[in-house]
Structure 1
Amino acid sequence: MISVHAVIEAALAQSPSDLHLSVGVPPVCRVNGQLVRINDLGIINSETMESWLAELLSQNQLLELRNKGDLDISLTPRADHAVRMRLNAYRQRGSYSVALRVLNQDIPSFEDLGIPRSIGERFCNMHHGLVLVTGPTGTGKTTSISAMIDWINHNRACHVITIEDPIEYFHKHDRSMVHQRETGTDTANFATALRGALREDPDVLFIGEMRDLESVATALTAAETGHLVFSTLHTIGAAKTIDRIIDVFPMNQQQQIRVQLASTLQGIISQQLLLTADGTSRALAAEIMIATPAIRNMIRENHVQMVDSVITTNAKIGMCSLDASLVRLVKEGRVAADEARVYSSTPEQFDQMLKRH
């Protein structure tokens, strides 16, 4: 029986973002957004899966998986610690499956990611408020925020606290002190860690994800009381992100939250990753919203549907609609027009913009 570590090494040779292990199929990698089977490793059976889990997990972790039905941890499958991965094991149809996300060791720059440096530095130089990076799973939200934390670490004297599930990038103290807490290991959950963080003299907080009413409410309070807060949401577009935050709360609290969000929100970057024209990598398309007085008023007055038009007409101050970002990628030859159109929120408008260019 092949070792799971040998399977991981074979998968890493393909430079995947994820590796899936499931009974009844060969190991499957996600490479540049596409699922690719590693057929020469053979089909996984239940006995093999049980053996692999015993290789990867401690006895306590195996017990938690059997009792709860799922487990989420980080691990270093290589002895030299050159690769870190996030492991999610879960039970389905009577057997176990494993999803492994490859965590990059090197923190990319704004240029590497495709985020305008002026925008990245603008958000990093703020001293309070809420900055959100949003998008579907696997679009690099945590990577973008980690690039901002890295910039702050090297350029500002701050106390930074991160609350992550799991920790994806390690930050070494530089001009800033960066303390990183992993849920399940260093703290019970996001809400508990976030409440504690407010008593730990932070300047900057990174919340891996605003998951529930308590964590959203605490993040807003932290942003309102003089902290710079970064977080992520699984939403597409600035307007939908604003609506999602408000909708977390009961109806009788929503007007109060609109006022609070209007005063604290500094900006939103909403990301999509597209396969490049040559098929060798992925390119970032990003909608960028900066909270201007007009947008703050729209949030307060419950006119969030007008935010998209403000983004479209304020390119001169750094805002960018998703369609404009997609058109730029096509114009630069980095992404095929058909691929970009799939991700457009308004395909007809995208077509018109592309014709003008």
Structure 2
Amino acid sequence: MPEHTPVEIFNALLKLGVDSGASDVVVKTGSPGHLRLSGKLNAVEMEPFTKETVEGFVLESVPEVFRPTWKTNSQIDYSYVVEGMGRFRVNAFRQRGTVSVVFRYIKNDVPTLEGLQLPAEPILKITNVKDGIIIVCGATGSGKSSTLAAMLNWINQNLDRHVITLEDPIEYTFDDRKSVFQQREVGLDVPTFELGITSVLRQNPDIIFIGEMRDRITFETAISAAETGHLVLTTMHANTVAQGLTRLFEFFPAEEQTLARRQVSNTLRGLICQKLIPTLGGSGRVPACEILTADSVVKNLIAEAQTEKITAMMETGTDSASFSFNRELLRLFKANKITKADAIRFSPNPQALDMNMKGIFFKT
């Protein structure tokens, strides 16, 4: 009986992952495959991956245009599609002289806000604007890409917009409904991220989706686009809204902070930060969001560098458009969707949340 090829071995593992509901599949030379189920890593009962199998898969699956990058940098991001199964975001890299590969499964169907169990009303209030900047924050694996895909899906179903995306790599793919989508993948459709971001304003967009706010050039382009009537959606690695606001200004030296704050206060429309919390039964995860809607009060506080007051307002206010993680965790706990222990564990201020659960709240 002939031996299975590297692609056949990997595809079998990926199918097991998809059938099991895994969000990620982790492969390391010399070890069996691992599936991430409900946030937890589980080993698969199989023979350890050989060096030849892992290297053979990467060489066969990586797009030809990326092969020089893989050879030079020993790491690469790309998309991998299995017919009848779906699309995967792939990161291949070398560690201790051998190759490892991590897959993130991207479902064929573009998600909806309701399907992701996200608070649709405040998110749509942010999304349904003509211009400005919207940022979705969270740690790796917190569902940022899915949330933004759901927001773009709503735009596609309801608004006539020209949407240009710049992604590395493309994750969800959109069929044109009311909107027209142009999805550009770095390395395949445009040589570099920098070239794509500097040319996007010449492509007549209404909405620009930037995969990640990664540097000053990206941020300045986003501000320029927002100031000239475009809507920019992007992501950032931050654990809270306050941390996200702080990180925005780290792109600028001290002497430029005042101007940067004025620009952000004028262009920011909303900031969403999220975490995935284990459900009460332990069979899945539910998102908990912290949302800041940039109204006139928030804009003034941003311009005046009063981040602490913004945090206090989200924590103690009653506005349904802006609320803290603690308010959302308390809501999920009262709705019997998460346990008290997990609510406390994922809270940025567990002592305050514990008091809230006892009916004790502080007013500003």
Alignment partner of 1:234 out of 227, 234, 237: 237
Partners of 1:74 and 1:85 within 8 A in 2: yes
Q: C-alpha deviations, 1:135-178, integer Å up to 9, x for none?
A: 00111111111111111111111111111111111111111111
Equivalent pairs, count: 354
> Is 1:75 equivalent to 2:84 in the alignment?
no
Give the Å deviation of 1:61: 4.0
Residue 243 of structure 1 corresponds to which residue in structure 2? 246
Residue 174 of structure 2 corresponds to which residue in structure 1? 171
Structure 1 residue identity aligned to 2:89 = R
Alignment partner of 1:326 out of 326, 329, 332: 329
Q: Distance in 1 between matches of 2:284 and 2:149?
A: 20
> Is 1:153 equivalent to 2:156 in the alignment?
yes
Alignment partner of 2:40 out of 34, 39, 50: 34
Structure 2 counterpart SS, 1:348: helix
Residue 138 of structure 1 corresponds to which residue in structure 2? 141
Partners of 2:122 and 2:320 within 8 A in 1: no
Give the Å deviation of 1:285: 0.3
Give the Å deviation of 1:63: 4.4
Q: C-alpha deviations, 1:285-306, integer Å up to 9, x for none?
A: 0001111222111111112122
Structure 2 counterpart SS, 1:199: helix
> Is 1:9 equivalent to 2:9 in the alignment?
no
Partners of 1:129 and 1:227 within 8 A in 2: yes
Residue 56 of structure 1 corresponds to which residue in structure 2? 61
Alignment partner of 2:314 out of 298, 301, 311: 311
Give the Å deviation of 1:235: 0.4
Structure 1 residue identity aligned to 2:264 = L
Q: Distance in 2 between matches of 1:19 and 1:36?
A: 10
Partners of 2:66 and 2:187 within 8 A in 1: no
Alignment partner of 2:212 out of 209, 212, 228: 209
Structure 1 counterpart SS, 2:292: strand
- Extract unaligned runs of 5+ from structure 2: none
Give the Å deviation of 1:128: 0.7
Structure 1 residue identity aligned to 2:80 = L
Q: Distance in 1 between matches of 2:187 and 2:318?
A: 42
Question: Quick one: percent identity of the two aligned structures?
Answer: 33
Structure 1 residue identity aligned to 2:122 = I
Partners of 1:104 and 1:168 within 8 A in 2: no
Change (3 A) 1:79 1:316: closer
Structure 1 counterpart SS, 2:203: coil
Aligned 1:197-346 pairs, distance under 5 A: 197-346=200-349
Structure 2 residue identity aligned to 1:15 = G
Q: Distance in 2 between matches of 1:315 and 1:169?
A: 35
What RMSD in Å do the two structures reach over aligned CA positions?
A: 1.6
Q: Distance in 2 between matches of 1:14 and 1:209?
A: 29
Q: Distance in 1 between matches of 2:145 and 2:216?
A: 21
Residue 162 of structure 1 corresponds to which residue in structure 2? 165
Residue 22 of structure 1 corresponds to which residue in structure 2? 28
**4+ residue runs of structure 1 moved beyond 6 angstroms?**
none
Structure 2 residue identity aligned to 1:135 = G
Give the Å deviation of 1:60: 5.4
Partners of 2:315 and 2:326 within 8 A in 1: no
Q: Distance in 2 between matches of 1:59 and 1:234?
A: 30
Give the Å deviation of 1:186: 0.9
Structure 2 counterpart SS, 1:329: helix
Structure 2 counterpart SS, 1:96: strand
Q: Distance in 1 between matches of 2:121 and 2:64?
A: 48
Give the Å deviation of 1:318: 1.9
